[in-house]
Homo-oligomer: A and B are copies of this chain.
């Protein structure tokens, strides 16, 4: 392995991370609304982190100054995996150096800071911070850094998707023939073109959403942070109640409008960006013809209908208390079930159920993780559907995590073909996608291996969590430790698939702050593995990978 090239590229990553911290600095200044007495530790923490990043980056580039030659497969994998690890370490510096508190009187440990940084870069949105709205606990400039890790992570994934996944045989099948480009023969030019298109779509949507949110009454700070959280399918908010906050303040915001805006943009963030580009250049048929996108829309529709139906049946949206929407005032006055016969309220309840249900389904399936309602209080069926949606994820070529819709389509088709093969062993049928055969030598096996690895990692991580996490993590914070098995499963699913919130102890209104360090370290690893589609992280733990040739 070419160590020098590795150093040089990792050095570049360190410098870029350091440079991007500069954009968080202004938010500490009084001119942009910062209260200097709270912000100064954030400001100096960020400055210190930048200095460290530049020092590390400079040193790495100095070591690697004589490097030349090509990047082979192993080096490329090592660069991606180690960059992500390095980004996590460097991205956690602002939290530790500024002495940010995860609760009013508890400082973030190194593990806490790495968890928060990894959650940002992997666009998960799981947090250990309990008081986002108090600048004495979490300075505003640190909050901005937190949200900008989402933007950087989403960007990184888009670049990686083109650079790495677009190369392999399975990657090509995932990106499909719709990928435009100047010429089919020139692979590199086409890759560069794709990278630019994806970048422009991503940056453009971020800018658009920011502007829309500004018009809807958010401050520039809130608009930027929520745009980053939405378009990267991240889920970090600047309020404890997530998007639900805007509905608790009918005096300041038009909550439902903001909710619908973010629903639409989450939906776009989970769509293949190449298809959005096709839309922009007036080729909407390409979007409508895409089999993955059609399944993505169908799944969202079916899940929403199921959850809204089950929710209404079980009066889920009536008893909830996380978000008191203005029209719910009557409920908080203690209205019993029987009194709800009133037709207006019933209609209101259907509308509200549809809004809450749709938002949550889109938020979970695109792996964003924003909340408007405490879905942990919903009925078991709805929660079960959400748990399954966590493993679905967005479309390939989007910033969404999870297994991706296209893999599920291929998985179902492969299993169907294999069942048929048991009684027609001589019939060889190609794998088809939208009428086109997509067979390549290894695709079938690769998809099966991917599902196998996800299943194995999920099961072992679940076992690890229930082993190391004591019952007191539940009982000390008012939770029932009998829910440990399902709560732990939801934690693992929510981090492995980069969603964020889970059930019970990590429910919509809760967070990961009370977990022990070993579990947090596992979750950091799971977020990384989920975001980078397993292999580049897993190989870092294979000894033979590190044997220099």
Contacts and interface: CB of A to CB of B under 8 A. Distances in A.
Count chain B CB atoms within 10 A of each CB in A77, A452, A486 and give the residue with the most: A452
Given A380-B484, A445-B445, 17 more contacts: A73-B423, A74-B423, A77-B423, A384-B485, A384-B488, A411-B452, A414-B449, A415-B449, A415-B453, A419-B535, A419-B539, A422-B535, A423-B545, A445-B448, A448-B448, A455-B455, A486-B486
A381 B466 contact: yes
A309 to B, nearest CB: 11
Interface stretch (A124-132, A228-236, A346-354, A456-464): A456-464
| Leading 7 A-B pairs by shortest Cβ distance | A448-B448, A380-B484, A384-B466, A418-B449, A422-B535, A486-B486, A381-B466
Interface in A525-549: 535, 538-539, 542, 544-545
Q: Give how many copies assemble into the complex.
A: 2
Nearest to A536: B422
A425 B539 CA distance: 13
A213 interface: no
A77 B539 contact: no
A222 B423 CA distance: 43
A340 B253 CA distance: 61
A483 interface: yes
A423 B424 CA distance: 35
A379 interface: yes
A481 interface: yes
14 contacts: A380-B466, A380-B471, A384-B485, A411-B456, A414-B449, A415-B452, A415-B453, A422-B539, A423-B545, A448-B449, A452-B452, A480-B482, A485-B486, A486-B486
Contacts of A73: 423, 425
Contacts of A424: 544
A410 to B, nearest CB: 11
B445 A383 contact: no
A382 to B, nearest CB: 9
A398 to B, nearest CB: 23
B485 A387 contact: yes
Given A449-B415, A452-B451, A459-B388, A77 B485 contact: no
Nearest to A418: B449
Contact of A455 (B74, B418, B451): B451
Contacts of A545: 423
Contacts of A306: 467
Contact of A452 (B379, B448, B542): B448
